[in-house]
């Protein structure tokens, strides 16, 4: 039984297989890397038609990372998947508050989801940071609401909730209402590894230029 | 802006939306739950045609969980996503060795991937346990090889690597060669949240019967 075990070989081969599905999209080199990693993370070439990258999103994310920004996530799986060693090399760290007892208390008192309470709890920290949401539509709504009611402005929002109840709607709202650049996936598809793949792709792009 | 924040309501609504895509598959109630959670985790109804559940897999997984079996994963994202509180209520725990320095050393010495070395390192522990693979084709190959060369028999293999380089082939081998029941997804799709959704779905099925 022969199979590839070399990570760089797998990466290269994967990009070759995905390339034909991107050829009509007029993507620059960096966007191609982001698309390829998202498609690879889902094992689904149909992502090529539903990925939505705001024209300034990759640039804003790169600048924020270079300044050592932190990344704030809705769920532990997104926190887990982000390459924290690489992020630390830029000076940043990842935080997730979904399991925080204080957040659970706020959620109960205010009658909101823990994901919403977590975003509210991050508050000012979100300013200039990267927000990476891979699961909860309500977390995404809360960030949109925070931007509309305060001066908090993340550098970029990677907003990719998944599923059939509210996810597509929340991502539509992100594209309509966000006051900062975003990366998302139209429709019901998405999830933690897709959000993770965006963050890691942009870090690798940046790393290759150091 | 109105949106659902009640987890049980979201679960019920999601299953209603997915139900029409399952109606020609003749699934029993438990398989329906597993399919629904997998489809929800991907936000992709096309999973209904590529999910493959060995006839004895759910039963074997339930029996193993009832006996307090552990779950062994290939990557941290799968470990993170599994409901560990629920698993502990049955007496089990989750282990992942991908970040173990000892595994890194074995991988280097033997010239194999860390995912393979991790599975080899679990060794006898895999006997009677649940194996949940959401990322690495090589981890899946290693488990197949272990079964063929030793008396180690997991209770069930949830083998759902994702991507365009080796994932589909590894899952085909799982269906052909596995000496124990399996749950998988044919083709390139899959990933950590899909593997996680299977484990959690079966725990919830079991929990509802306690």
Judged by CB atoms closer than 8 Å, whether chains meet at B44 and A189 is answered as: yes
What are B45-62's pLDDT values in tens digits?
Answer: 999 999 999 999 999 999
Kindly report the average pLDDT of chain B as a whole number: 96
What are A113-139's pLDDT values in tens digits?
Answer: 999 999 999 999 999 999 999 999 999
Per-residue pLDDT, B2: 64
Question: Is A54 part of the annotated catalytic residue set?
Answer: no
Kindly report the average pLDDT of chain A as a whole number: 96
Hey, of B35, B37, B44, B82, which one would you mutate to test binding to chain A, going by the most A CBs within 10 A of its CB?
A: B44
Across the range B132-161, mean pLDDT stands at 97
Q: What are phi and psi of B79, to 5 degrees?
A: -55, -45
Per-residue pLDDT, A35: 98
Residues of B noted as catalytic: 40
Which residues does chain B have within 8 Å of residue A13's beta carbon, measured at their own beta carbons? 164-165
Q: Predicted confidence band at A1 (pLDDT cuts at 50, 70, 90)?
A: low
Question: A51 CA to chain B: closest CA distance, Å?
Answer: 14
List the domains of chain A with CATH numbers.
52-207 (3.40.50.10230)
CB B18 within 8 A of CB B51: no
Judged by CB atoms closer than 8 Å, whether chains meet at B81 and A193 is answered as: no
Q: Which of A13, A116, A166 sits opposite B165 (nearest CB)?
A: A13
Q: What is the ipTM of this complex?
A: 0.94
Across the range B26-33, mean pLDDT stands at 96
Task: Give yes or no for B115 touching A (CB within 8 A).
Answer: no
B1, pLDDT greater than 70: no
Q: Which region among A121-125, A128-132, B2-6, B178-182 has the lowest average model confidence (pLDDT)?
A: B2-6
SS (H, E, C) chain B: CCCCCCHHHHHHHHHHHHHHHCCCCCCCHHHHHHHHHHHHHHCCHHHHHCEEECCCHHHHHHHHHHCCCCEEECCHHHHHHCCHHHHHHHCCCEEECCCCHHHHHHHHHHCCCHHHHHHHHHHHHHCCCEEEECCCHHHHHHHHHHHHHCCCCCCEEEECCCCCCCHHHHHHHHHHHCCCCEEEECCCCCCHHHHHHHHHHHHHHHHCCC
Judged by CB atoms closer than 8 Å, whether chains meet at A193 and B162 is answered as: yes
What are A51-108's pLDDT values in tens digits?
Answer: 999 999 999 999 999 999 999 999 999 999 999 999 999 999 999 999 999 999 999 9
Other Cβ atoms within 10 Å of B172 Cβ, number: 13
Tokens of B171: 């899952």
Task: Give yes or no for A88 touching B (CB within 8 A).
Answer: no
Residues whose CB falls within 8 Å of the CB of residue A121, separated by 6 or more in sequence, listed in order:
A97, A100, A102, A103, A106
Per-residue pLDDT, B53: 98
What residue in B sits closest to A161 (Cα-Cα)? B43
What are A35-56's pLDDT values in tens digits?
Answer: 999 999 999 999 999 999 999 9
């Amino acid at each position: 039984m022969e199979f590839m075990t070399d990570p760089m070989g797998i990466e290269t081969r994967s990009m070759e297989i995905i390339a034909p599905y991107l050829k009509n999209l007029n993507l620059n080199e960096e966007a191609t890397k982001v698309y390829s990693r998202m498609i690879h993370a889902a094992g689904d070439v149909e992502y090529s038609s539903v990925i939505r990258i705001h024209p300034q999103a990759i640039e804003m994310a790169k600048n924020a990372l270079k300044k050592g920004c932190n990344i704030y996530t809705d769920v532990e799986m997104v926190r887990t998947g982000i390459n924290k060693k690489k992020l630390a090399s830029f000076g940043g760290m990842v935080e997730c508050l979904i399991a925080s007892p204080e957040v659970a208390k706020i959620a109960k008192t205010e009658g909101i989801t823990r994901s919403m309470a977590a975003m509210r709890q991050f508050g000012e920290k979100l300013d200039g940071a990267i927000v990476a949401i891979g699961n909860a539509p309500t977390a995404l709504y809360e960030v949109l609401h925070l931007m509309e009611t305060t001066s908090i402005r993340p550098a970029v929002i990677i907003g990719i909730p998944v599923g059939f109840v509210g996810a597509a709607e929340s991502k539509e709202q992100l594209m309509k209402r966000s006051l900062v650049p975003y990366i998302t996936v139209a429709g019901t598809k998405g999830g933690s590894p897709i959000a993770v793949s965006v963050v890691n792709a942009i870090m690798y792009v940046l790393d290759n230029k150091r």
